[in-house]
Amino acid sequence: MAESLFKTWRVIKLPRGELNLSKTLQSGQQFTWRKIARENETATVDGDTQASWRGVIAEMVWTLKQDRNDENLLYMIHGPWKDTKVSSKRKRKAGTDLGRRHVIAKKGAGYQESMDAIESQYQTFDSIIKDYFQLDVNLRQLYAEWSKADSNFAKVATSMTGIRILRQDPVENLFSFICSSNNNISRITGMVGNLCKRYGRKLLNVDGIDYYQFPEIAALAQHDAEKVMRDMGFGYRAKYINESAKILNKKGVAWLYSLRQTPYKECQQQLRQLYGVGAKVADCICLMSLDKPSVVPVDTHVFQISSRYYIPGLRKQKSLTGKAYTEISEYFLKLYGPYAGWAHSVLFTADLKNVT
């Protein structure tokens, strides 16, 4: 594989409070980012070696970090470089076209030396990462509004600034959250990793670790996939993944992406036609990959937070009912407004253990 021109840190300027990279990537939204220990990270910024995160976006391997003040976002891309367009299922709306070429020159022709061409390529990468973290959203302003509306949020926010909702690939988001049924983050992470290793395409090896593209739907829809996944320890989720993949194979991946333009209620109903997708999983997908920032997914964590701080009447209930789910979602929507799902994620992350 050719050496990359892009294995140096690229800086995206951000004010402090707009992003906390570590907390965002540990907030239970995405399960394939790997923390790189400081002693293993050779690249530094202003002499300060920070912990980094490595994962896959747009079929390329990225390393991300922030500077010492948690202000700017820095990235490095390891490849692989391709002279083909990224498949249409990876295209995002709002002007960020992941189908643009990720290579400067065809194999064997050598890299273009023009600094203008290199900068143009970096601008494409900037667009990808800004889209992924939705950096066009003014998070500090939202935190101020939520803190004014909710004294409990104001208290939590002092140690939980910079938590953003990722704009993920809907296919990966869907199947990752099918794995989340009656599960914890550690086990979900293991399952998604095994799914990628078994059915995904290997992209490249970085520092002795293999990185994979998330599996294509056709691979998960194979007739023997359910048995294979059961043998891998997926349990009943194996059937959910396999059957949902078969449905998506028939509908076409464009159907899933089209839900970004579909009103929330209809979008949720459409998603719930898939195996293993109830209200919570559907709402996670709506929030994290289908551009529905007001949606508040409710699980046991959010149920407990709600009964403890917001809706005392829920304390009499031992479990989350459908009625309670709706009550909680509507409560937070009224409290926090059009980005209620983002605010709820801050409360959710604060309730998790081992988030650093």
Q: What is the pLDDT of residues 62-116, one digit of tens each?
A: 999 998 777 899 999 997 765 433 333 333 333 333 333 344 444 444 544 556 7
Residue 221 identity (one-letter amino acid):
A
Please answer whether residues 189 and 35 qualify as being in contact, where contact means their C-beta atoms are separated by less than 8 angstroms: no
- Residue 332: closest CA among 300, 350, 309: 309
Report pLDDT for 120: 79
Distances (CA, A) of 326 to 270, 296, 331, 356: 18, 10, 8, 31
- Tell me, what's the pLDDT at 4? 52
Range with lowest mean pLDDT among 77-86, 122-131, 215-224: 77-86
Integer Rg of the chain from CA: 21
The answer for residues whose C-beta is within 8 angstroms of residue 23's C-beta and 6 or more apart is: 160, 162, 163, 349, 355, 356
User: Looking at the predicted structure, is the pLDDT value of residue 126 above 50?
Assistant: yes
Q: Per DSSP, what are the bridge partners of residue 19? A: none
Considering only residues 142 and 95, tell me which one the structure prediction assigns the higher pLDDT: 142
* H-type alpha helices, the chain: 21-25, 115-132, 139-149, 151-157, 170-178, 185-199, 217-220, 225-231, 237-251, 253-258, 264-271, 279-289, 300-309, 322-336, 340-351
pLDDT of residue 5: 52
DSSP string, 156-180: HHTT-TT-------HHHHHHHHHTT
Q: What pLDDT score was predicted for residue 82?
A: 53
Give me the residues paired with residue 56 across strands. Answer: 61
Q: What is the pLDDT, as a whole number, of residue 105? A: 41
**Active site residue: 246, 280, 318, 323, which one?**
280
Residue carrying structure tokens 């970085």: 206
Tokens of 287: 């929030």
> To the nearest whole number, what is the mean pLDDT of the chain?
87
Q: Where in the chain is the domain with CATH 1.10.340.30?
A: 168-292
Q: What's the CATH class of domain 168-292?
A: mainly alpha
98 and 58 Cβ atoms separated by less than 8 Å: yes
- DSSP character at residue 72: S
Q: Beta 202-206 vs 209-212: how paired, if at all?
A: antiparallel
What is the per-residue pLDDT for 51? Answer: 81
Residues 248-270 have pLDDT tens digits of 999 999 999 999 999 999 999 99
Q: Is 280 a catalytic site residue?
A: yes
289-302 as b/e: b if 16+ CB within 10 A: bbbbbbbbbbbebb
Average pLDDT over residues 1-8: 55
pLDDT tens digits for range 20-51: 999 999 999 999 999 997 544 444 444 444 68
Strand-pair partners of 10: 75
The per-residue pLDDT for range 221-239, each reduced to its tens digit, is 999 999 999 999 999 999 9
Q: Which residue has the higher pLDDT, 322 or 356?
A: 322
Interatomic CA distance for residues 224 and 342, integer angstroms:
38
Mean pLDDT value across residues 301-310 = 96
- Asked whether the predicted pLDDT for residue 350 surpasses 90, the reply is yes
The residues, ordered by sequence, that sit 6+ positions from 259 with a Cβ below 8 Å of its Cβ are 170, 267, 270, 271, 290
User: What backbone torsions phi and psi does residue 73 show, to the nearest 5 degrees?
Assistant: -100, 130
What Cα–Cα distance (Å) separates residue 336 from each residue in 136, 185, 298, 347, 350?
Answer: 19, 26, 15, 12, 17
Q: Given CATH 1.20.1730.10, say whether it is the number of domain 295-356.
A: no
In the chain, CATH 1.10.1670.10 sits at 295-356
Confidence grade of residue 355 (pLDDT, cut at 50, 70, 90): confident
pLDDT score for 6? 67
* pLDDT(323) > 60: yes
Backbone angles phi, psi at 74, to 5 degrees: -120, 145
Give 69 or 2, the one with higher predicted confidence.
69
- E strand or H helix at 65, and its extent? strand 60-66
Q: What is the band of 297 on the pLDDT scale with cuts at 50, 70, 90?
A: very high
Instruction: Specify the pTM.
Output: 0.87
